[in-house]
């Protein structure tokens, strides 16, 4: 509500121009418009009117009292009613205006609050992101703190271990120094360790055969004896005295020199007696250590083994190793030659037995033919003559086989139970029945019988076997002894080579039967299952 100011007369607070009749003033009690009025030209001096009123609470009682005071005057009542109606209308209009003003104020406030809310939403988005970022950084910080604590504990533990290791550093250094010293003085003599490093033996002094090595060893041993007899095997000082006596000093030096030479020779003799070709290097190393030990022990008297004598003993070791290797090589060759001779003898006897059998058969048919001719049965005689012709061809074939030492059968066999899959033996036999040779190979030397993949007859079986061995050389199992005819390869690959050479394969068995091995494996599996139960 706005206070109206009259320039001629000041209106007291609480009195306002009436909205219906601008010529009067009406009292506003702070809550409602009252029925108290006064002309606009003569307002009360100040304060509220003295007339009691109850517009909202008891309007009907007020009308009743008024009516009684007017003694029922109709005109006055009508005027009063009209006046009250004007007052009520005025009261409603002012209240609505007040509400409209309040509504406008609220709208302005709502708009302002909406703007503030939008501004807050604009600000709260980045704040939420910042809060989320801070939350993640807090989690990461916690993880880093946990890792830092773990690493701190680990560092403490490692520092302790490092301190312990530092305390033992001196001891470790001493142990390493002692170990290196032992490594320089100890010679590896265990045959198992030596065998792990052994290679194909290479002759130090190639000679024609074992007798040549034997003769050379005899010469070296004679030179060794001559050097000892001449006193040049071991050297020593000549200026040594005992209690001022040069004679006693020389005797002492001589006795000690003999003792050390005997120890040196014992080392060599033991090496010669136990010599194996693959232990030559370790034997020479032991002999070098023995010589160094003599030098250390006899340093005061300058006692030492002479270079010439030491060289002779090393040559003795080398020729001994060469001799033993050559003897083993010749024994293997002789064994193979005996095996070949035995095979040839067996084949020769087979040829003779077959020829004897054919001769007997020929004599039988010849006597039958003579009898048929005597009886005049020419048709039967013709059949017998054809049979005699076949027998003669067979005899001629055996004679050719016996004369041609290259003719024979090449066999491809395997033994999966003994050697595993993809390993074959390629060999040759001149026997009439090559399966006899296969049965001999399946003797007590292997746990299972060999299986035959193919047997190929050739007029040059020796050449065919040699060619196959040459092409399969990269698959050879034994790279030292070429007489061991085993190759790690699938049988099909051997078949391809034979077919490429134009040789005829009458029958081929791809998968080995290996009956005994398969039965053994099945039985072993069943026994394992029973034991498991």
Higher-confidence residue of 55 and 74: namely 74
- Among 22-36, 186-200, 474-488, which is the least confidently predicted range? 186-200
Residue 66 pLDDT exceeds 50: no
Largest CA distance in the chain: 197
Query: What is the rounded average pLDDT of the residues 325-346?
Result: 80
pLDDT at 129: 83
The Cα–Cα gap between 176 and 151 comes to 33
Q: What percentage of the chain exceeds 70 in pLDDT?
A: 79
Higher-confidence residue of 393 and 96: namely 393
The single residue listed with the structure tokens 């048919």 is 365
Quick one: how far is CA 426 from the chain centroid? Answer: 37
Residue 166 pLDDT exceeds 60: yes
Give residue limits of the domains in the chain.
54-186, 210-335, 404-533
In the chain, what are the helix, strand and coil shares in percent, each to the nearest 5?
65, 10, 25
Higher-confidence residue of 478 and 531: namely 478
Which tokens is 351 given?
């040829």
Residue 484 pLDDT exceeds 80: yes
pLDDT at 138: 86
Torsion of CA 349, 350, 354, 360, to 10 degrees: 40
Beta bridge partners of 428: 410
Which tokens is 477 given?
């199992």
Contacts 24+ apart (CB under 8 A), 357-360: 358/391, 358/394, 358/395, 358/398, 359/395
CB 427 within 8 A of CB 485: yes
Query: What is the rounded average pLDDT of the residues 437-453?
Result: 88
pLDDT at 43: 61
pLDDT at 453: 94
pLDDT at 411: 93
Residue pLDDT, tens place only, 294-313 = 888 888 888 888 999 999 99
The Cα–Cα gap between 452 and 471 comes to 20
Higher-confidence residue of 418 and 404: namely 418
Average pLDDT over the chain, rounded to whole? 79
pLDDT at 51: 53
pTM (two decimals): 0.49
Residue ranges in 404-490 assigned as alpha helix (H): 416-419, 434-441, 461-471
Residue 327 pLDDT exceeds 50: yes
Residue 4 pLDDT exceeds 50: no
Higher-confidence residue of 344 and 520: namely 520
Higher-confidence residue of 136 and 166: namely 136
The Cα–Cα gap between 62 and 40 comes to 25
Which tokens is 380 given?
């039967």
Residue pLDDT, tens place only, 112-159 = 888 888 888 787 878 888 888 888 888 888 888 888 888 888 888 887
Torsion of CA 453, 455, 456, 459, to 10 degrees: 150
pLDDT at 112: 81
Residue 519 pLDDT exceeds 50: yes
Query: What is the rounded average pLDDT of the residues 361-371?
Result: 76
| Confidence tier at 71 by pLDDT (50, 70, 90) | very low
Higher-confidence residue of 302 and 75: namely 302
pLDDT at 49: 67
pLDDT at 313: 92
| Confidence tier at 469 by pLDDT (50, 70, 90) | very high
Angle, alpha carbons 180-183-188 (nearest 5°): 165
Contacts 24+ apart (CB under 8 A), 115-119: none
Which tokens is 434 given?
């090559």
pLDDT at 96: 64
CB 152 within 8 A of CB 145: no
Higher-confidence residue of 64 and 304: namely 304
Among residues 429, 430, 360, 427, which one has the least CA distance to residue 401? 430
The Cα–Cα gap between 501 and 464 comes to 9
Residue pLDDT, tens place only, 172-230 = 667 667 666 655 555 555 555 555 555 566 778 888 888 888 898 999 999 999 998 88
């Amino acid at each position: 509500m706005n206070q109206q100011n009259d320039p001629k007369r000041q209106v007291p607070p609480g009195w306002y121009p009436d909205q219906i009749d601008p010529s009067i003033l009406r009292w506003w009690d702070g809550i409602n418009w009252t029925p108290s009025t006064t002309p606009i030209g003569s307002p009360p001096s100040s304060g509220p009117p003295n007339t009691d009123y109850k517009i909202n609470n008891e309007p009907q009682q007020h009308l009743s009292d008024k009516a009684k005071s007017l003694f029922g005057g109709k005109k006055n009542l009508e005027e009063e009613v009209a006046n009250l109606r004007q007052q009520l209308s005025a009261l409603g209009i002012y209240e609505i205006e007040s509400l409209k003003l309040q509504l406008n104020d609220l709208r302005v406030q709502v708009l302002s609050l909406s703007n503030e809310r939008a501004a807050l939403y604009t600000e709260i988005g980045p704040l939420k992101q910042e809060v989320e970022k801070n939350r993640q950084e807090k989690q990461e910080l916690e993880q880093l703190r946990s890792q830092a604590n773990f690493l701190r504990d680990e560092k403490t533990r490692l520092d302790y271990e490092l301190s312990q290791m530092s305390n033992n550093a001196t001891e470790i250094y001493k142990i390493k120094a002692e170990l290196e010293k032992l490594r320089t003085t100890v010679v590896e003599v265990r045959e198992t360790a030596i065998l792990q490093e052994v290679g194909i033996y290479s002759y130090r002094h190639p000679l024609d055969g074992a007798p040549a090595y034997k003769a050379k060893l005899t010469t070296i041993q004679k030179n060794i004896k001559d050097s000892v007899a001449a006193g040049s095997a071991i050297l020593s000082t000549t200026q040594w005295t005992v209690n001022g006596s040069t004679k006693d000093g020389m005797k002492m030096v001589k006795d000690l020199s003999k003792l050390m030479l005997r120890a040196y020779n014992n080392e060599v003799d033991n090496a010669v007696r136990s010599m194996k070709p693959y232990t030559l290097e370790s034997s020479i190393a032991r002999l070098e250590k023995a010589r160094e030990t003599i030098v250390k022990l006899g340093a005061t008297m300058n006692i030492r083994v002479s270079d010439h004598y030491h060289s002779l003993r090393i040559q003795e070791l080398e020729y001994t190793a060469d001799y033993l290797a050559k003897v083993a090589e010749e024994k293997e060759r002789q064994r193979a030659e005996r095996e070949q001779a035995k095979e040839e003898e067996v084949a020769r006897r087979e040829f003779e037995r077959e020829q004897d059998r054919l001769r007997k058969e020929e004599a039988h048919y010849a006597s039958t033919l003579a009898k048929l001719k005597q009886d005049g049965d020419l048709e039967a005689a013709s059949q017998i003559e054809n049979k005699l012709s076949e027998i003669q061809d067979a005899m001629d074939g055996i004679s050719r086989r016996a004369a041609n030492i290259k003719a024979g059968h090449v066999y491809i066999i395997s033994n999966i139970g003994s050697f595993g899959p993809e390993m074959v033996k390629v060999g040759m036999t001149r026997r009439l029945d090559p399966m006899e040779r296969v049965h001999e190979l399946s003797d007590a030397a292997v746990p299972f019988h060999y299986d035959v993949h193919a047997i190929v007859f050739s007029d040059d079986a020796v050449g065919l076997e040699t060619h196959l061995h040459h092409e399969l050389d990269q698959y050879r199992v034994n790279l030292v002894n070429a007489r061991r005819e085993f190759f790690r390869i699938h049988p099909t690959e051997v078949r391809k080579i034979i077919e490429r050479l134009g040789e005829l394969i009458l029958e081929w068995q791809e998968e080995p039967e290996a009956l005994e091995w398969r039965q053994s494996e099945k039985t072993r599996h069943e026994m394992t299952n029973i034991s498991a139960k």
